[in-house]
């Protein structure tokens, strides 16, 4: 069909008034689109600000409970938890991940006690917060991350979190075959309703630095993660990763990082028509904060515009450290 030409068609007509812009808006962002990542630490009454993530802190259990109640009040439907494991509890094989009383499991139970079923709890499945070498899995003598041996541990880690009450287990390790193994184990252990959100397209990115500071693995990391995280140059490979994870039982998939990979979000959504999430990672958050502090942009506007971009690209939701700020802004 041939489009009408100017002046019969004036695209600015529908932009002339606020009410009309609202009426014609194609993409809507609400607090229900947000997942709030939180960092857990030991102690009581502890808040540890993270220098490379201004405005973000690690919280002890009482603080985690308070943040959970805050999220419920703001209409944020889900929290994502990441532990800052004490150095003495780290080991080469990350066995603390299997401790039913570790930081992650205690935080899950704390949130459930504080909020009941009013909020979802997403638990990260990977070994980097628990290892002395900072890798996401078990390593051989050359430092190569072993796939199948790591998957066996990840299965037990996911079961440990499910037993503690996690609603979603989110494998962020990028090992081959781990989704099918975790799904089968959850079914066998009568956790059929525990969801798997797979980090299906997780790239070996330069944007993760502040996160590694937050969980205490940054200074420990030996080598890099390029043998298992994806090459930033690849997009077709991302579709293969997503296809495998869906076939193995993932309920939703994630693209990480976020803004530099919106093309991947759109490709995944168009190809598979499944729930797609993105993680606005620590480096993205830090850049927005730095831009705001430098007067290069208004913080509130930068936050909402970037989050809207995720939704426009096809995201069902976004993991973002700006979740509480965005929720308050969206409430008006």
Which residues carry out catalysis? 202, 256
Q: Which three-class secondary structure state does DSSP give residue 275?
A: coil
Sign of CA dihedral 159, 163, 164, 167: positive
Q: Which parts of the chain fold into alpha helices (H)?
A: 18-23, 61-74, 103-115, 147-164, 178-188, 209-215, 236-248, 262-272, 282-293, 299-313, 323-331
φ, ψ for residue 183, nearest 5 deg: -60, -45
Spatial separation of the C-alpha atoms in residues 332 and 316, rounded to whole Å: 22
Q: Is 157:185 a contact under the CB 8 Å cutoff?
A: no
Residue 298 in tokens: 């208004």
Q: Is the omega angle on the peptide bond into residue 257 within 30 degrees of 0, that is, cis?
A: yes
Give the length of the chain: 332
Contact between residue 172 and residue 199 where contact means Cβ atoms under 8 Å apart: yes
Is residue 252 within 8 Å of 304, Cβ to Cβ? no
**Cβ contacts of residue 245 below 8 Å, gap of 6+?**
179, 198, 200, 253
301/309 Cα distance (integer angstroms): 12
* Alpha carbon distance 310, 131 (integer Å): 32
Helix (H) / strand (E) containing 122? strand 120-125
Determine contact, residues 280/258, Cβ cutoff 8 Å: yes
3-state SS class at 307: helix
* Beta strands 47-49 and 57-59, pairing class: antiparallel
H helix or E strand, kind and range, residue 200? strand 195-202
């Amino acid at each position: 069909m041939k489009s009408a030409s100017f002046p019969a068609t004036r695209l600015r007509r529908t932009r002339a008034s606020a009410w009309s812009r609202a009426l014609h808006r194609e993409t809507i962002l609400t607090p229900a689109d947000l997942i709030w990542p939180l960092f857990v630490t030991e102690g009581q009454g502890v808040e540890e600000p993270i220098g490379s993530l201004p405005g973000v802190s690690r919280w002890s259990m009482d603080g985690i409970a308070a943040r959970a109640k805050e999220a419920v009040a703001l209409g944020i439907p889900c929290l994502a938890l990441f532990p800052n494991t004490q150095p003495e509890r780290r080991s080469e094989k990350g066995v603390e991940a299997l401790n039913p009383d570790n930081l992650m499991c205690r935080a899950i139970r704390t949130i459930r006690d504080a909020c009941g079923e009013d909020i979802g709890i997403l638990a990260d499945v990977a070994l980097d917060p628990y290892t002395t070498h900072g890798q996401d899995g078990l390593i051989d003598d050359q430092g190569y991350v072993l796939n199948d041996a790591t998957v066996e541990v990840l299965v037990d880690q996911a079961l440990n979190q499910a037993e503690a009450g996690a609603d979603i287990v989110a494998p962020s390790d990028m090992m081959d075959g781990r989704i099918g193994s975790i799904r089968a184990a959850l079914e066998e252990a009568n956790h059929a309703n525990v969801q798997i959100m797979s980090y299906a397209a997780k790239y070996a990115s330069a944007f993760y630095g502040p996160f590694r500071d937050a969980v205490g693995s940054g200074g420990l990391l030996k080598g890099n993660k390029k043998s298992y995280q994806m090459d930033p140059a690849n997009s077709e490979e991302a579709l293969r990763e997503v296809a495998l994870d869906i076939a193995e039982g993932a309920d939703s998939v994630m693209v990480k990082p976020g803004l530099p990979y919106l093309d991947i979000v759109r490709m995944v959504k168009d190809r598979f028509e499944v729930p797609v999430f993105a993680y606005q990672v620590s480096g993205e958050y830090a850049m927005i904060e730095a831009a705001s502090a430098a007067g290069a942009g208004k913080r509130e506007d930068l936050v909402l515009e970037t989050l809207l971009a995720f939704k426009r690209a096809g995201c069902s939701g976004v993991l973002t450290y700006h979740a509480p700020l965005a929720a308050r802004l969206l409430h008006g």
